[in-house]
Structure 1
Amino acid sequence: MGRRLIRLALQAIGAALVASGILWALQGLGIIMWPEDSIMLARREWALYGAITSALGAALLLIAQRMRF
């Protein structure tokens, strides 16, 4: 049961990181201009931070997928 709980946690955290990273990247590239008062809008460094965050989330999802019971 412990490994299943760890796997579920890794999947949830990984999915959240991928989703937020994509949002940050799109805001940084100026594709999503919401919310209007965000400091991330059209700032290239946030596109990089988003890509890194998404990659970390994808790595967690991959680790969770490869876990054996």
Structure 2
Amino acid sequence: MGGLLAVFGGFFALQGAGIVMWPPESFMLANRNWIANGAIIGATGVLVLGAGLTIPRRHDAG
């Protein structure tokens, strides 16, 4: 889940920066607010991914 958030956050930031201009009907294209929004979403994804990798899992018997 964290990896997916990180990928989509990066995609949103690139759309906001006007680097990725797809899909053409997106309201995020060249909208600078989405650079920050995408960065926040991507950073959240990295944190979720990192937490998932560092929190030990409980192994149930059976």
Q: TM-score range by the shorter chain?
A: 0.7 to 0.9
Per-residue CA deviation, residues 1-31 of structure 1 (Å, 9 max, x unaligned), is xxxxxxxxxxxx1011001101000000000
- Taking only the aligned residue pairs, the percentage that are identical comes to 42
Q: How does 1:49-68 map to 2 (within 5 A)?
A: 49-68=37-56
Match of 2:60 in 1: none
Structure 2 segments unaligned to the other structure (5+ residues): 58-62
Higher helix share: 1
**Partner Cα separation in structure 2 for residue 16 and residue 24 of structure 1:** 12
Radius of gyration: which is bigger?
Answer: 2
**Partner Cα separation in structure 2 for residue 21 and residue 68 of structure 1:** 26
RMSD: 0.7
4+ residue runs over 2 A deviation: none
Aligned length: 57
